[in-house]
Amino acid sequence: MIAPIIINFFDGTAQFATVGLGNVVVINTSPSAVTSFTGDVGEPTIAKFVPGHTDGSATFNPGIQPLAVGATTVTITDTETSRFVTLDLTVTP
């Protein structure tokens, strides 16, 4: 199993990530609720945003699922604070 790429939402205003096609990007949302995040992918054929959710006692952070090799931007927004960051995402084979 490959460890996911983890980015911290509150570390800055712009972020960069490179992820392999068989991996995922996980967004650390602390201290905001995982369910308060939305994502807008510039090129939806490259990646898709996966919302965070809770399922009983389990909590799942939001993330980004690579779909094809290439590059795109992803704007991630915390709807609780209206703060957003832009992630430059590169998907490799």
- With b meaning 16 or more CB within 10 Å and e meaning fewer, what string describes 64-91? bebbeeeebebebbbeeeeebbebebeb
Going by C-alpha positions, the residue among 72, 10, 83 that lies closest to residue 41 is 72
Q: Give me the residue label for tokens 């389990």.
A: 58
Domain with 25 in it: 5-92
Question: How many separate domains does the chain show?
Answer: 1
Q: For residue range 18-66, what is the model confidence (pLDDT) as tens digits?
A: 999 999 999 999 899 999 999 999 999 999 999 999 999 999 999 999 9
The whole model's pTM is what?
0.92
Domain at 23, CATH number = 2.60.40.2020
Residue 13's pLDDT is what? 64
Going by C-alpha positions, the residue among 21, 11, 22, 31 that lies closest to residue 87 is 11
